[in-house]
Amino acid sequence: MMFKLSFTTVIFAVATLFATANALADNDVDACNGSNDYGVGHDCAFSGGSGTVEGTCQNNACGNLICKPN
């Protein structure tokens, strides 16, 4: 019984890890704001037209925090 419980717990933990890893922002603004709540200089990523775009959070000319590609 104990083995079954720990095995189930491990499977659940791994599934949760993969679900979290697949969460990717849809645009450059959401990559640094919303639930991410990053500040200037934090690493960020979002889904772009050619795949995943990685960068750092920076303020744009309007003062909005966006993910600026590297």
> Please, are residues 45 and 5 in contact by the beta-carbon 8 Å criterion?
no
> Please, are residues 70 and 56 in contact by the beta-carbon 8 Å criterion?
yes
* pLDDT tens-digit map of 36-63: 779 999 999 999 888 999 999 999 999 9
Q: pTM of the predicted model, to two decimals?
A: 0.64
* pLDDT tens-digit map of 11-32: 555 555 444 445 789 999 999 9
Residue ranges of domains in the chain? 24-70
